[in-house]
A and B are shown apart, each in its own frame.
Chain A
Amino acid sequence: MGVSAWLSIADLGLTEGGTRIIDAATLDLCAQRSVVLGPNGAGKSTLLRLIHGLLHPSGGRLDWPRPLSQAMVFQRPIMLRTTALANVEYGLKLKGHAAPERGRRAAEALARVGLGNISHRPARLLSGGEQQRVALARAWALEPELLILDEPTASLDPASSREVERIINEIAAGGTRILMTTHNLGQAKRIAEEIIFIDRGRIVEQTAVAQFFTLPQTEAAQRFLQEETP
């Protein structure tokens, strides 16, 4: 790689009720845009949650050479019972931003995800795609150095998925590191610089995106690609 890692994961493990969900994961994250792929139940979401700090590992280490500010977007957007704008402001409020600046930044973020015209609508009554864009705006407004996304388009229609992808690429273009999971291989190709392939809790390979889809290094990844490609 040659580039210094922004996160080094060493021997990371999570065991729950005797099952190893993440098994001795060792990984250097250097790429700006990494996509984690793997079969259902491989531990993709768990890995992201360990990195984000929502779960505590039962072993191993996460070494951040420099602590990065993070935000996370989930598969199902969680909207508070208030306007779209207030949902975005809420994140800024928790980070201690004062009121006038908060409103301005929230409105900007909503405009950037293409929802400037409906910022005063109740967030819970928006469509699934719109809610996910509000969630992206809420994350974006925080200007995180690392944005983690857990299958952000899994429950969206193709048009909404494309819009979400556009937004992710735009956030990445601003310099934010992207770490995400997806079941959509086309999306992985379009977003990722490198693919991290994980199977049954183990990190199986970490390969540049072009190589992964043409010449995966491991049999498990080959099998996965065959099964997933229609």
Chain B
Amino acid sequence: MTEFTASFQTAWQLLVSSDARLFGIVVLSLGVSLAATLIACVVGMPVGSLLAVGRFPGRRVLIVLFNGLMGLPPVVVGLLVYLLLSRAGPLGSYGLLFSPTAMVIAQAVLVTPIVAALTRQVIADEWSEYREALRSLGASRARAAATLLWDGRFSLSTAALAGFGRAIAEVGAVMIVGGNIDGVTRVMTTTIALETSKGDLPLALALGFVLIAVVLSINAVAYAVRGWAERRWG
């Protein structure tokens, strides 16, 4: 029990002294996951909106596929991206494996289906409400998809947030393609996994606190922004 409380104390000290090593890990984690979420939004939101509004062959199959891919296991994504980026793989010549870029790619692959599927749900609801008015004004389906993306921007922050939450919390994909190299590709989750298995609980605990704090505060900010926006724009 004393060891337990001692771990908490050390963890707290690491946090308040803004330990350089801890700080580097947190910054890398946020950077990788934010970049991956950004890519996922840029790709996934238009795809989701077109799936909601469009009419093209294979649409239903794609909807089922994206919904299913929401539960993609991170280790499998890590493995696939590893195979793509490894020296013998099709993208091996770029030498990206075990770099933060590889981690961004893996998390983007993991998160894009989540963003696309959630966007489709939001936009499908809007479309059923706006459909006649937009068609009456002469909007093409592509145009309607773009209009609804902009109009649903506040609701869609939830989709982005879900994607970020998934990215920042996953271990499997970044562990495989990043390699958990100290000072290069070590992020919060991989460090927690490693330090816990080594028995160094204070650093793992400190990172656990940061991880929870980051996720909670980003959700709180998003909630506040959304509330403000809804009061502002209705």
The answer on A and B forming one complex is: yes
CB distance from A47 to the nearest CB of B (A): 15
Cross-chain contact B233 with A72 (CB below 8 angstroms): no
Docked Cα-Cα span, A2 to B181, in Å, equals 88
Docked Cα-Cα span, A94 to B147, in Å, equals 11
Chain A residues, Cβ within 8 Å of B143: 94
B57 interface residue (CB < 8 Å to A): no
Residue of A nearest to B144 (CB): A94
Cross-chain contact A94 with B233 (CB below 8 angstroms): no
Given A94-B139, A94-B143; A122-B132 close (CB under 8 Å): no
Cross-chain contact B138 with A125 (CB below 8 angstroms): no
Main secondary structure of the interface of B (DSSP, over half): helix
Chain A residues, Cβ within 8 Å of B183: none
Checking B132, B147, B153, B234 against A125 with a beta-carbon cut-off of 8 angstroms, the contacting residue is B234
Docked Cα-Cα span, A173 to B83, in Å, equals 71
Residue of B nearest to A49 (CB): B132
Task: Convert B8-37 into 0s and 1s, putting 1 for each residue whose CB lies closer than 8 angstroms to a CB of A.
Answer: 000000000000000000000000000000
Docked Cα-Cα span, A137 to B139, in Å, equals 18
Docked Cα-Cα span, A125 to B138, in Å, equals 25
Interface size classification for chain A: 20 to 34
| Highest count of chain A CB atoms <10 Å: which of B135, B147, B151, B233 | B233
Chain A residues, Cβ within 8 Å of B135: 54
Cross-chain contact B151 with A81 (CB below 8 angstroms): yes
Chain A residues, Cβ within 8 Å of B139: 94
Residue of A nearest to B232 (CB): A122
A198 interface residue (CB < 8 Å to B): no
Tell me the A85-126 residues at the B interface (CB within 8 Å). Answer: 90-91, 94-95, 122-125
Cross-chain contact B137 with A94 (CB below 8 angstroms): yes
B129 interface residue (CB < 8 Å to A): yes
Checking B132, B138, B153, B232 against A74 with a beta-carbon cut-off of 8 angstroms, the contacting residue is B132
Chain B residues, Cβ within 8 Å of A123: 234
CB distance from B199 to the nearest CB of A (A): 53
13 contacts between A and B (CB under 8 A): A54-B132, A74-B132, A74-B133, A74-B136, A78-B129, A78-B130, A78-B133, A80-B147, A81-B153, A82-B151, A94-B137, A94-B143, A138-B137
**Chain B residues near A (Cβ < 8 Å):** 129-130, 132-139, 143, 147, 151, 153-154, 232-234
